[in-house]
Amino acid sequence: MTSALLLTALLLPLVAGALLPLWRGRRIHQAGRVAVAAAALVLACVVGLLVALQRGETPALALTWIPAAGIRLALQLDWLGFPFLLNVVVVSLLAAVYGWGYMHADARLPAFYALLLFFMGGMVGTVLADDLFLFFIFWELMLVASCALIAIWGEGEQAGRVALKYFIFTQVGSLLVLIGLIALYVLTGTSSLAQLRAAPPVLDPRWATALVTLFAVGFGVKMAVFPLHTWLPDAHSVAPMPVTVMLAAAMLSMGVYGLLRFPLSIFGPLILANFSLPLMIAGVVSQFYGALMALAEEDIKRIIAYSSVSQMGYALFGLGTLSQPGLAGAAMHMVNQGIVKALLFMGVGLVMRATGRRRITNLGGLRHALPLTTLGSGVGALAIAGSPPFCAFHSEWQIFAGGFQTPHTAVTILAVLAPALTAAYALWFIRRIFLDPRPEGLEVSVPPLAMRVPFALLAFLALAVGLYPAPLYDWVMRGVLIVTGGG
Amino acid sequence: MTGDVWVVLAPALLGSGAFAIYLVARLLTSRNDLLALLTALVFAAALVALVPLQFTTGVGHLPAWGRFGPGGAFLRADPGALVVAGVALGLGLLVALYSGCYLALDRRYEDYYPLLLLLVAGLVGMVMAADLFNLYMFCELMSAAAYVLVAFRRHTDTAIEAGFKYLVMGSVGTVTILLGISFVYRETGTLALSQATSAPGPWTRAGLACFLVGLGIKSAIVPLHTWLPDAHGRAPSSISAMLSGIIVQSVFYALLKVCLGLGWAGRDLGALLIVLSLFNMTLGNGLALVQTNTKRLLGYSTIAQMGYIMLSVGVGLRYDVPVAIQAGFFLLLAHAAMKGLAFLCKGVCHFYCDATTINQLRGTATRLPLVAVAFSVALAGLAGMPPLAGFAAKWFILMGTLRSADGLGYVGLAAFLLNSLLSLGYCLPLIGTLFTRKTSQDFGETSASSDFGELSQGVSEASEVSIQISPWMVVPIVALGALVLAIGLYPGPWLGWTANAGVYLLALGR
């Protein structure tokens, strides 16, 4: 039963995506609905899997695939993967709904939703894969699908070049990950993640250090932490908004998932201890760099894009602490940050749709014309600045609590100061767009309902998770026990 | 003349088929589709003739046929040769079918199909040859057919030029091989290629150097590669598919067999191959980045892919890792499917839209949707994207290379990674170009940038209509496309096919 749910959750987006190009002619308008229906069914599967996890099961599935190379078609969901899976599926579902209103209906619409589903399928597969080979295939599917979305539907004349840059930068990271994965297999002789975790390999410390470095840099590119971030502002600002939402709110978290799954779960504390301070410092640098760049930007989409660099810095800092609250905070922050970032990007999309402008200097005074957008974006801004009672507060708390468990108090104090800058750009962003006097000649139209509903839902989630974070705490803590070996 | 008759059946079928088809073309019919079908049948028969050998040939048992000595044909099947010959016959079958429509551009069917058969007959004989004399004869048979086929479009001066360049360089290679054979004969007094019992003396070593150069020219080892982009860029696309897909690699296999058979220690040859592969990979990919002609780009990509094969085989020989050699053969197989597919797709664009430069490929997706998809699959595969054949090959090569025991292997590994990034630099923009709509300015001066997302402005009516492709072209393209996907998704059986080849070569080099 649970293995059927696993397989359905994985295959449904892929099959639906493969079938979508059949929707042609007059029926292209249905393409978005098909995609949303598929994503909703996947969400139903995920809920079913949650029930199984709560019962203490570990849904798994293993079939032989390439025996000569020790490769199996193995899927597994555990508590570590679950928050990420839930985040991916919810964000994808809402992004697809948002696309109903955002995308123009033309003959290519079915292909758009098909690629969106492949993108989602890639992320779902990345989380579910229990085999090194399979993990990498989905890891790359995620990249190929998102790159095609940027290349074909990208906004502006640079779309092709931005897509190429995105692809090649990310591919550098992927290759490092690939080397890490294959080296793990060659050194240990097993390609199963569960086995690697159950019986951590005893490796030559030089090899282990090299592998951790490879994984850290490789997944760091996906997380887009400084100085590996340069693809992110371009890709996020050029991609159509539903894709941007998925990139920022779901795909970046795959980097954190990779770090938790590979180096942090597999290698012992002796090896990892050497990486603690570098990761924490890299995280703090990203925090400040992203926030400062967000303050300096004028394009509203790039402001939120740079805010992602900053937010991923928080997560990297949390991972670098290697402490239980730090790791839990980083994983939780991926969910919370996902909600908030999707909310903010959708708000930007609403403003862009309503006014047709995206330079912050040409905007202002939208609070009367767009009250819902103002409210929601305000929630997003407060949440990202880490103010209670919104969701990101809890994860940032955990991350900093983890920081103070390490001997590196000075770095931690620096990290704690970063939210001040975050608050600066977030509040400045709100003030300039919604509160400042309205420039002359700014026409405002009402954005479609399909764009407003997911936006409102996310604003509600940001508050709800902030007020009642207990389930998320619970799931993430059980996941972190897998990483630290307590489970 | 004794031995296992299955060994000689495939080359004999191909050779006699060539004569029969020439006669049919001259006397009975000059219909292209019939001749293509007949040629394909000959290839299929030869392929079937190889099947029993698959079961009888093992590392310890090599079925042979013929009598050793001057003037005697002497062939011996080995696991590696069977892989190379099988790939060549399969690709030849599809190319023959493809030519059933494609050759309407050039006509002269009575020359083309026999030459195609002789090309593969030479190849099969060469990889199975058990002595230097037969190896030389079959290699020349293959090369002679290849020279003519490269210059097949004799009405264009570029094709004549490319063919002539190929001929001159190939002949230098031939003479060098002949010199090498005489050196070897002077010292050992025999031409037989079997496992050497003693270390090679000075004459044999001089001979080995000659083989390295002579066969190196024909297998496009940098810096002896300069003929390849011209030849592969100017030949008809169907022939480019054969040349790039398998001919170059088959000469490399012959090189391995000769060098190891004459006693070149696997460790030393492996180190040399790793060093040479660095140049092949980097130069091939680097120069492919700046090409404007699609087929030249694919030609340079072949040089790079030869580098990957050399790296993998080199690592295997140097560090005694059979899986690395196996991965090299796996890439050979995967590359044949991918590069064959790429050239065949390019041929369709040339046939229907008269597109040769990369910019002229714009709008392929609207006019030839199937070809655009298949071409993209081939290119993405060449760039090593999962879940295609190229990715599986990359995975196995990395798996082999990571077992290296010293710095040289890791230098090769680093170069391999760098190059797999470089290859993205030309494969992705080319895919992008296929899916870019043709804009009105393309009809005049073309601009280099490809903006995927821009909606077409002033698109002419004619370029929007999708063109019906001949089934003679659809079948090979769909078959190869499915193969690229199948090899990538389910590499088990293909990997199994190449398993013995690795073990065999390693045993030869000990």
Q: Which residue of B has its CA nearest to A67?
A: B492
* Pairwise CB contact (< 8 Å): A157 & B499: no
The 10s digit of each residue's pLDDT in B333-382 is 999 999 999 999 999 999 998 888 888 988 888 889 899 999 999 999 99
Contacts of A175 in chain B (CB under 8 A): 417, 420-421
- Name which of A81, A151, A94, A100 is nearest A120 in CA terms: A94
On the question of pLDDT at B483 being above 90, the answer is yes
* B460, HSE (Cβ side, Cα atoms, 13 Å): 10
- Comparing alpha-carbon positions, the chain B residue that sits nearest to A157 is B451
Residue found under tokens 């991972």: A319
Q: In percent, how much of chain B has pLDDT > 70?
A: 93
| A264 located within any domain | no
Binned at pLDDT 50, 70 and 90, residue B457 comes out as very low
CB contact under 8 A, A140 and B386: yes
State the nearest Cα–Cα gap between B24 and chain A, in angstroms: 46
Tokens of A78: 């555990």
**From A35-49, A63-77, A284-298, B136-150, the region with the lowest mean pLDDT:** A63-77
B199 in contact with A, Cβ within 8 Å: no
Residue A180 has pLDDT above 80, yes or no: yes
Chain A residue numbers with beta carbons less than 8 Å from the beta carbon of B450 are 160
Residues of B numbered 60-89 whose beta carbons fall under 8 angstroms of chain A's beta carbons: which are they?
none
Interface of B with A in 416-445 (CB under 8 A): 417, 420-421, 424-425, 428-429, 432, 435-436
| Exposure letters A332-360 (e unless 16+ CB within 10 A, then b) | bbbbbbbbbbbbbbbbbbbbbbbbebbeb
Average pLDDT of span A397-422: 92
| Neighbour tally for B12: CB within 10 Å | 19
B447, B466 in Cβ contact below 8 A?
no
- Determine the pLDDT at residue A382: 93
Distance (Å) from the C-alpha of residue B347 to the closest C-alpha of chain A?
A: 25
pLDDT of the residue at B73: 63
- At residue B293, φ and ψ (nearest 5 deg) are -95, 125
Is residue A88 assigned to a domain?
Answer: no
Taking contacts as CB-CB distances below 8 angstroms, the residues of chain A near B449 are 160-161
Does residue B286 register a pLDDT over 60? yes
Query: Is A240 near chain B, with CB under 8 Å?
Result: no
> How close B411 gets to chain A, by Cα (Å)?
14
Listing DSSP states for B456-479 in one string gives: PSS--SGGGSPPPPPHHHHHHHHH
Contacts of A168 in chain B (CB under 8 A): 421, 424-425, 428
Which range, of A277-281, A304-308, B408-412, B465-469, averages the lowest pLDDT?
A: B465-469
Q: Is residue A25 classed exposed, middle or buried when 0-12, 13-18 and 19+ CB atoms within 10 A define those classes?
A: exposed
Structural domain contains residue A333 = yes
Residue in B395, B420, B426 to test binding to A, most A beta-carbons within 10 Å: B395
Q: Does the pLDDT of residue A26 top 80, yes or no?
A: no
Per DSSP, the three-state class of B78 is: coil
pLDDT on residue A199: 78
- Closest residue in A to B498 (Cα) is A68
* pLDDT of B192: 83
Q: CA of A153 to nearest chain B CA: how many angstroms apart? A: 5
Yes or no: say if B204 and B188 are a contact pair by the CB < 8 Å rule: yes
Point out the residue among B386, B399, B424 whose CB comes nearest to the CB of A137: B386
The mean pLDDT value for A415-423 works out to 91
Strands A71-76 and B64-66: unpaired
Q: Is the peptide bond before A407 cis (omega within 30 degrees of 0)?
A: no
Question: Given an 8 Å threshold on Cβ–Cβ distance, is A159 in contact with B499?
Answer: no
Integer Cα distance of B5 and A485 in angstroms: 63
In angstroms, the CA B375 to CA B372 distance is: 5
The answer to whether the CB atoms of A164 and B454 lie below 8 A apart is: no
Chain A residues inside the 8 Å CB shell of B492: 65-68
Distance from CA of B238 to the nearest CA of A (A): 30
B369 and chain A: CB distance < 8 Å anywhere? no
> What local confidence, expressed as pLDDT, does residue B128 receive?
93
| Residue A175 within a domain | no
B-chain CB neighbours of A151 within 8 Å are 432, 435, 452-453
Domain count, chain A: 1
What is the pLDDT confidence band of residue B107, given thresholds at 50, 70 and 90? confident
In a domain? residue A185: no
pLDDT band at residue A216 under the 50/70/90 scheme: very high
Chain B residues within 8 A of A153 when measuring between CB atoms: 453
Give the residue numbers spanning the domain of A484: 270-487
Domain ranges of chain B: 265-510
Mean predicted confidence (pLDDT) in A3-18:
91
Selecting from B387, B399, B449 the residue whose C-beta is nearest the C-beta of A160 gives B449
Which residue from A165, A347, A103, A331 is spatially nearest to A245, judged by alpha carbons?
A347
| Pairwise CB contact (< 8 Å): B453 & A141 | no
d(CA A402, CA A397): 9
CB contacts, 8 Å: B451 with chain A = 157-160
- Token code pair at residue A82: 């679950």
Looking at the complex, report in whole angstroms how far the Cα of residue A273 sits from the nearest Cα belonging to chain B.
26
For residue A154, the Cα-to-chain-centroid distance in whole angstroms is: 20
CB-CB under 8 Å, A168 with B425: yes
Number of Cβ within a 10 Å radius of residue B490: 14
B278-B279-B280-B286 Cα dihedral, nearest 10 degrees: 110
pLDDT tens across B11-42, in order?
A: 999 999 999 999 999 998 888 889 999 999 99
pLDDT at B214 over 80: yes
Cβ atoms within 10 A of the Cβ of B405, count?
12
Query: Most confidently modeled of A20-24, B61-65, B113-117?
Result: B113-117
Q: Is residue A139 pLDDT above 50, yes or no?
A: yes
Distance, in Å, from the CA atom of B219 to the CA atom of B233, rounded to the nearest integer, reads 16
pLDDT value of residue A487: 43
Residues of chain A contacting B433 with CB distance shorter than 8 Å:
none
- The answer to whether the CB atoms of B429 and A164 lie below 8 A apart is yes
Q: How far is A143 from chain B (nearest CA, A)?
A: 10
CA distance A59 to A80: 13
CA-to-CA distance for B406 and B463, rounded, in angstroms? 56
Nearest to B387 among A137, A151, A159 (CB): A137
Q: What's the rounded mean pLDDT across residues A405-424?
A: 92
DSSP reduced 3-state for A301: helix
**Chain B neighbors of A182, CB-CB under 8 A:** 395, 398-399, 402
Q: Which of residues 120-179 of A touch B (CB under 8 A)?
A: 133, 136-137, 140-141, 144, 151-161, 163-164, 167-168, 171-172, 175, 178-179
Could you tell me which chain B residue has the CA closest to the CA of A186? B399
SS3 A448: coil
Pick from A140, A153, A154: which is nearest to B385 by CB?
A140
Residue contact B453–A154, C-beta within 8 A: yes
Give the pair of three-digit tokens for residue B11: 């080359």
Task: Give residue A204's pLDDT.
Answer: 84
Give the three-class secondary structure for A135: helix
pLDDT at position B464, please?
A: 65
Residues of B in contact with A154 (CB under 8 A): 452-453
Amino acid at A135: F
Distance from CA of A415 to the nearest CA of B (A): 35
- pLDDT score of B72 more than 90: no
How crowded is the C-beta side of A11, counted as CA atoms within 13 Å?
Answer: 8
Confidence of residue B71 (pLDDT cuts 50, 70, 90): low
Compute the mean pLDDT over every residue in chain B, rounded to the nearest whole number. 89
- What is the rounded CA–CA span in Å between residue B195 and residue B130? 11
For residue A203, which of A175, A182, A183, A179 has the smallest C-alpha distance? A183
- The residue type of B162 is A
Pull the structure tokens for residue B66: 């013929």
pLDDT digits (tens, 9 = 90+) for B169-183: 999 999 999 999 999
| The pLDDT value given to residue B195 | 66
Residues A141, A147, A151, A155, CA torsion sign: positive
Residue A92 has pLDDT above 90, yes or no: yes
Amino acid identity, position A103? M
What whole-number distance in Å separates Cα of residue B389 and Cα of residue A413? Answer: 50
- Inspect the interface and report whether the beta carbons of A68 and B499 lie closer than 8 Å: yes
pLDDT digits (tens, 9 = 90+) for A241-298: 999 999 999 999 999 999 999 888 888 888 888 899 999 999 999 999 999 999 999 9
| Closest residue in A to B491 (Cα–Cα) | A66
Residues written for chain B: 510
Q: Does A75 map to a domain?
A: no
Out of A137, A155, A175, name the one closest to residue B421 (CB).
Answer: A175
Check A151 against B432: CB less than 8 A apart: yes
Q: How far is A298 from chain B (nearest CA, A)?
A: 24
- C-alpha distance from A357 to closest chain B C-alpha (Å): 20
Task: Please judge whether B452 and A137 are an interchain contact, meaning their C-beta atoms are less than 8 angstroms apart.
Answer: no
Query: How many A×B Cβ pairs under 8 Å?
Result: 89
Q: Residue A442: pLDDT band by 50, 70, 90 thresholds?
A: confident
pLDDT tens digits for range B409-448: 999 999 999 999 999 889 998 998 898 877 655 444 344 4
Cα gap A308→A244, rounded to integer Å: 11
